[in-house]
Amino acid sequence: MDKSKLYREKLQAQMDEWAADLDKLKAKARGQGADAGLEIQGMLEQLESKLREGKARLKAAWEAEKQEDEV
């Protein structure tokens, strides 16, 4: 297995771990009071957005690398 593939798999595993952590935090936020829960929920949504953005960028980079390999 080449270094590039190992690196991609490592990044994907890290992002999956972050997604699981976000799910745990969301569940914990639901258990908080209404005001605290809303504030925490807003922060979690921002983190989730950043995670989705990171996954999209990673996918785009993988696709670009794949196209370069085909040339």
Residue 25 pLDDT more than 80? yes
The more confident residue out of 55 and 37 is 55
pLDDT band at 20 (very low <50, low <70, confident <90, very high): very high
Q: What pTM did the predictor assign?
A: 0.67
Mean pLDDT of the chain: 83
CA gap 60, 57 in Å, rounded: 5
Secondary structure (3-state) at 33: coil
Looking at residues 28-52, what average pLDDT do you find? 81
Going from N- to C-terminal start, the domains of the chain cover: 24-71
